[in-house]
């Protein structure tokens, strides 16, 4: 499908004209990069007052529940373990501790930039157990699958994965079918590049909401919003791919085939959303020897969240960061009290860096 190219000023004018007299419209985005860029580019400022953008469960660090953070801390605290993870996970608080506080106490915790770094570390340290903390959605899970497959192929025995990967469509389904006040959905371009735009057609066909797969530049986001508002105006319920330069109808077959060679769906817990059927990924039986949750004894003693923290409500679109009493007071990106302030893709961090609702 071909789309006419407008200037952002024209898109802004078109959205305002289409939205006039439509009452309050709430559009949810479910991607951490969208959350950040909406704030960073001041997209909310470009919209008429009756359109409100809210964030859903799209930040991988934020949706990882306390139980998994506690499991990571429990493993990283054990002797002879080298624990590896992405930098964002280091400062997620869990009770009185975090991976970073363990690191400060001398535990061997290493920030890596690719899961394959964990394989190299395992090969360089044959006498120690190396654990990779796998978090994120369909975008990062194929990389973890590649790590497992390589470790299996090369006979690496001292590597395992603490797997907290999740899949987005099931979470959207659960969140939006449970009587939310969301009028339309902006679908995540990164996830769609792997699973395909067609994987979000259920939003239109089953949830009866208009949806658009969006890219990440200001223009991409505004163009997707125009598409959504136009559908709302006309009463259309479709899922439109507004990011065709990166997203195809059926996604990246190679990445999906690797993903489902190593993983299988399972029920899993999300911060804020609870347990969602079929929304997790666990290692298939053949690869179970690489599962850190089976390899180590876990002590999940303290999974407290900070008092007053609204991360769980924010991830469901029921609150915004400025509703939280800790926002900007006790809780800042330098001293985060909750996951949504830790990650650069978290709503609280985005509001803190780039400003509040309007």
Minimum distance of ligand SF4 from residue 326's CB (angstroms) = 4
Among residues 147 and 311, whose Cβ is nearest to ligand SF4? 311
Q: How far is the CB of 271 from ligand SF4 (least distance, A)?
A: 11
Residue placing its CB nearer to ligand SF4 in the complex, 199 or 331 = 331
Is there a contact between 184 and 27 (Cβ–Cβ < 8 Å)? yes
Interaction residues for ligand SF4, span 128-167 (CB under 6 A):
none
Sites for ligand SF4 among residues 287-326 (CB under 6 A): 306, 309-311, 314, 321, 324, 326
When asked if residue 46 is in the footprint of ligand SF4 (CB under 6 A), the reply is no
- Choose the stretch contacting ligand SF4; rule: CB under 6 A; options: 32-40, 243-251, 285-293, 335-343: 335-343
The DSSP line for 212-227 is EEE-SSHHHHHHHHHH
Count the alpha carbons within 13 Å of 123 in the hemisphere toward its beta carbon: 11
Which CB atom, from 35 or from 84, has the smaller least distance to ligand SF4? 35
Partners of 275 in beta bridges: 269
Positive or negative torsion for Cα 291, 292, 298, 300: negative
- Work out how close the CB of 350 gets to ligand SF4 at its nearest, in angstroms, rounded to a whole number: 11
- For residue 318, the minimal CB distance to ligand SF4 (Å) is 12
Are 332 and 324 a contacting pair, CB within 8 Å? no
Residue 294 phi/psi, 5-degree rounding, is: -90, -30
Rounded Cα distance between 346 and 336, Å, is 11
Q: What is the smallest separation between the CB atom of 331 and ligand SF4, expressed in angstroms?
A: 3
CA separation for the pair 190, 182 (Å, rounded): 22
Out of 11, 341, 345, 350, name the contact with ligand SF4 by CB under 6 A: 341
Residue 180: which residues within 8 A CB-CB, separation 6 or more?
Answer: 28, 316, 317
Nearer to ligand SF4, 195 or 340 (CB): 340
Residues pairing with 134 in the sheet: 163
Answer for which of 182, 192, 225, 337 binds ligand SF4 (CB under 6 A) is 337
- In sequence order, what are the residues at sequence separation of 6 or more whose Cβ sits closer than 8 angstroms to the Cβ of residue 195? 138, 168, 169, 251, 256
- What's the closest the beta carbon of residue 129 comes to ligand SF4, in angstroms? 32
Q: Which residues inside 214-243 make contact with ligand SF4, applying CB under 6 A?
A: none
What is the number of the residue whose Cβ is closest to ligand SF4?
A: 338
Using the rule CB under 6 A, give the single segment among 30-38, 235-243, 279-287, 337-345 that binds ligand SF4.
337-345
65 binds ligand SF4 per the rule CB under 6 A: no
Rule CB under 6 A: say whether 69 interacts with ligand SF4. Answer: no
**Residue 111 to residues 6, 38, 144: CA-CA distances in angstroms?**
42, 28, 15
Least Cβ distance, residue 189 to ligand SF4 (angstroms)? 25
Using the 8-state DSSP alphabet, how is residue 239 labeled? E
Torsion angle of C-alpha atoms 253, 255, 256, 262, degrees rounded to 10: 140
Asked whether 93 and 306 are in contact (CB, 8 A), the reply is yes
Is residue 75 near ligand SF4 by the rule CB under 6 A? no
Contact between 327 and ligand SF4 by CB under 6 A: the answer reads yes
When asked if residue 94 is in the footprint of ligand SF4 (CB under 6 A), the reply is no
Nearest alpha-carbon partner for 28 in 182, 211, 227, 143:
182
CA distance 190 to 197: 10
Q: How many chain residues interact with ligand SF4 (CB under 6 A)?
A: 15
| Residue among 252, 331, 343, 345 that touches ligand SF4 (CB under 6 A) | 331
Q: Rule CB under 6 A: which residues touch ligand SF4?
A: 306, 309-311, 314, 321, 324, 326-327, 331, 337-338, 340-341, 348
């Amino acid at each position: 499908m071909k789309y006419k190219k407008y200037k952002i000023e024209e898109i802004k004018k078109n959205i305002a004209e289409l939205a006039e007299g439509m009452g309050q419209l709430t559009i949810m985005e479910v991607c951490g990069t969208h959350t950040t860029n909406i704030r960073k580019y001041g997209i909310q400022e470009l919209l008429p007052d009756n359109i409100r953008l809210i964030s859903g469960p799209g930040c991988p660090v934020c949706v990882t529940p306390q139980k998994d953070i506690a499991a990571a801390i429990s493993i990283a605290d054990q002797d002879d373990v080298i624990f590896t993870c992405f930098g964002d996970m280091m400062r997620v608080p869990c009770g009185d501790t975090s991976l970073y506080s363990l690191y400060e106490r001398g535990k061997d915790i290493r920030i890596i930039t690719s899961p394959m770094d964990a394989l190299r570390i395992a090969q360089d340290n044959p006498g120690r157990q190396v654990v990779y903390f796998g978090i994120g959605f369909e975008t990062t899970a194929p990389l973890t699958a590649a790590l497992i497959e390589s470790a299996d192929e090369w006979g690496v025995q001292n590597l395992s994965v603490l797997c907290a990967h999740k899949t987005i469509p099931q979470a959207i389904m659960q969140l939006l079918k449970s009587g939310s006040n969301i009028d339309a959905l902006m679908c995540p371009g990164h996830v769609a590049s792997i699973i395909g735009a067609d994987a979000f057609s259920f939003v239109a066909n089953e949830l009866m909401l208009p949806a658009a797969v969006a890219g990440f530049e200001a223009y991409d986001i505004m163009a997707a919003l125009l598409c959504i508002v136009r559908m709302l105006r006309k009463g259309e319920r479709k899922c439109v791919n507004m990011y065709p330069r990166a997203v195809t109808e059926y996604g990246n077959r190679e990445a999906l085939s690797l993903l489902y060679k190593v993983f299988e769906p399972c029920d899993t817990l999300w911060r804020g959303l609870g347990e969602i059927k079929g929304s997790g990924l666990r290692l298939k039986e053949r690869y179970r020897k690489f599962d850190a949750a089976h390899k180590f004894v876990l002590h999940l003693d303290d999974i407290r969240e900070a008092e007053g923290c609204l991360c769980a409500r924010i991830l469901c679109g029921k609150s915004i960061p400025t509703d939280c009493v800790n926002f900007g007071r006790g809780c800042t990106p330098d001293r985060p009290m909750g996951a949504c302030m830790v990650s650069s893709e978290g709503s609280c961090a985005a509001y803190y860096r780039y400003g509040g609702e309007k």
